Structure 1
Amino acid sequence: LLVKGIIVPFRSPKTAKLYKEIWNENGSPLLYYSRLQARMLQERLGDDYHVELAMRYQSPSIASALANLKAGLVESIQVIPMFPQYASASSGSVIQLVMELVSKWQTVPPISFVNSFHDNELMIKLFAENARKHGVENYDHVLFSFHGLPERQLLKCDHTGSYCLKNADCCQTLNDTNKFCYSAQGHDTARLIATELNLPKEKYTVCFQSRLGKEPWVQPYTTDVLKKLAAEGKKRLLVFSPAFVADCLETLYEITVEYHEEFRALGGEHVQLVESLNDSPVFIEALAGMVK
């Protein structure tokens, strides 16, 4: 069961218009690639497996996908939330809903979950390979821009109550205390991709986009980093968005259009998006490797 989440940034009444701007002949890129990924994984796994795609907040729903699996009399269910980094609002929400729905069944088959796959080797190599297509050496700086998250959600993952956000570099290294921290997993993903590309630490920055409301979100904000880099005279930026496994509004519009225009207005020249995993056979192989 592959579960996707559509994070709709209600930043203005123009959101629906923005979706239309990134749609192509296949409709929504996110839905198109999601369906394609499910179909490709089904072909890769063969008839011994039944692959279902579900969306957390849209159709096809998790309830309908589980109903299909139940009707198919499957022996076991494995749920893969398609969020590389764990967050209670994304992967955790999916896991919770699946458990709530299945708990109502009279007969519950064995169920397992993929908590996160932020350090999946094939995924890391694929992101790096996608970046090489643009010539990493031709850019002044590289950004790893993750979808933002309120700081309060990070704090909930710190069961000690004495580690999270207590110092500026608490997320820089993944350890037993912060191993389920969204920000720490994001930094680890960025570090692994940077290592694959031989990027020195001073060449890249981890940041967070799509902030909503006025409460503190995980920092630094991507918009602030753009201002800082422009002030330093940086002209060309290469931007990853490793929180997504398929291109969507946050990548195709927020980064490719909004951040590009904002950076140019600040004196920069170009913001180049590194494409997501989309329909790459390498990513399908990564998913197949997660299936037990």
Structure 2
Amino acid sequence: MSDQAVLLLNLGSPKSTEVADVRSYLKEFLLDERVIDAPTPIRNLVVRGLILPTRPPKSAAAYKRVWTDEGSPLLVTSFNQQKLLQEVVDMPIALAMRYGEPSIANVIGDLVSKGIKKLFVMPLYPHYAMSSYETVVVRVMEEVQQQAPNMETTLLQPFYKDEDYIEALVGRSQPWLEKDYDMLLFSFHGIPERHLRKSDPSHAHCLTTKDCCNHCHPAHATCYRHQCFETVKAFVAKAGIPESKYKVSFQSRLGRDPWLKPYTDFVLKDFPKEGVKKLLVMCPAFISDCLETVEEISMEGKEDFLEAGGETFEQIPCLNDHEIWISWMANRINAWARETAQQAS
């Protein structure tokens, strides 16, 4: 299997918490046409003229709150995932980030230099969104086409409701679910509503049809909102959580355009008024804990909830490098290897 390899992919982080490094990271991230999907002149004006002059110091301060001695939580966890996976899988495991380092271009180049001809591409995003799953896949395919057009690639599809993924989520969450709590909040990363409409191939279903997420439609294959709801539906069924004890919200937003609702920060402040005093929160859109789960939820979100009258706030960690997640990835890789071997025989 010397010509086979696996490529793990995630978002990325700044090189350090220095303002200059954060500015460089934000520049690459926000100039991505699938993140801020305005025409190029407008995107340049917004990012270069409005965001980059003011936002980097604030973002740098946020990163400093979560930075560890080893570096960015996302990068530290991702490298540990790679290391643990390499110990149980008999082929090279590579890791690249959509923004920052290790870059997709450099990692693809390294794989090519090692004679890799078959690549299993694993975006570590359970759900499809143009600003996460789509952009990282497009970037990888661009580099493969440029550096190794004859390389065979197999793409891990969004796994938002796959039975083994739901089992992993529930297994990871079980110690917290056994505690006394009033409400479990599923906080997903938000996206602009317009992204749903752009990802809808019919341009006539998402956010157009009444109760669109619950009516079967081809648009669901690329509908982030529908897939988030499906994750929750499968999770609560598997874990036996009654409808009265969970809620879905969406965190993080940028600009004035409407994003997916309800907004997590509003929900956290309203909960105590509704009698929710003991809260559990989990962020199933993320495989690894990062700025959005640590600083935005377990720090700022916790402060908002407690200041509004909440009593206890506990966040269920992401899958991170838990053995249940390493096993999940190893099983997917081994299944791909067997299928590839069968096709070659």
Q: What TM-score, normalized to structure 2?
A: 0.79
Report 1:178-257 matches (<5 A): 178-257=220-299
**Unaligned segments of structure 1, at least 5 residues:** none
Following the alignment from structure 1 to structure 2, what is the Cα–Cα distance between the partners of residues 173 and 200?
Answer: 22
Deviations 1:87-129 (A, max 9, x none): 1111111111112112223652111211311123333223223
Mean alpha-carbon deviation: is it higher for 115-124 or for 84-93?
A: 115-124
8 Å Cα contact 1:136/1:238 also seen in 2 = no
Where relative contact order (Cα < 8 A, 6+ residues apart) is larger, the structure is 1
Aligned to 2:124: 82
Which amino acid letter does the alignment assign opposite residue 288 of structure 2?
A: A
Match of 2:89 among 45, 63, 74: 45
The 3-state SS of whatever aligns with 1:90 is helix
Q: Following TM superposition, by how much is the alpha carbon of 1:265 offset from its aligned partner in structure 2, in angstroms? A: 1.7
Distance 1:12 1:138, change over 3 A: farther
**Unaligned segments of structure 2, at least 5 residues:** 1-6, 14-25, 31-50, 337-345
Match of 1:3 among 1, 9, 21: 9
Which amino acid letter does the alignment assign opposite residue 266 of structure 1?
A: A
Q: Following TM superposition, by how much is the alpha carbon of 1:234 offset from its aligned partner in structure 2, in angstroms? A: 0.8
Aligned to 2:77: 33
Aligned to 2:40: none
Following the alignment from structure 2 to structure 1, what is the Cα–Cα distance between the partners of residues 102 and 312?
Answer: 37
Higher helix proportion: 2
8 Å Cα contact 1:122/1:282 also seen in 2 = no
Distance 1:156 1:170, change over 3 A: same
Distance 1:174 1:210, change over 3 A: farther
Following the alignment from structure 1 to structure 2, what is the Cα–Cα distance between the partners of residues 70 and 257?
Answer: 42
* C-alpha RMSD over aligned residues: 2.0
Following the alignment from structure 2 to structure 1, what is the Cα–Cα distance between the partners of residues 135 and 81?
Answer: 22
8 Å Cα contact 2:181/2:278 also seen in 1 = yes
Q: How many residues align?
A: 290
Deviations 1:28-83 (A, max 9, x none): 2111110011111222112xx21110010010000111011101111201111111
Following the alignment from structure 2 to structure 1, what is the Cα–Cα distance between the partners of residues 171 and 183?
Answer: 17
Which amino acid letter does the alignment assign opposite residue 10 of structure 2?
A: K
8 Å Cα contact 2:183/2:278 also seen in 1 = yes
Distance 1:140 1:273, change over 3 A: same
Following the alignment from structure 1 to structure 2, what is the Cα–Cα distance between the partners of residues 21 and 122?
Answer: 34
Aligned to 2:313: 271
Rg (Cα) greater in structure: 2
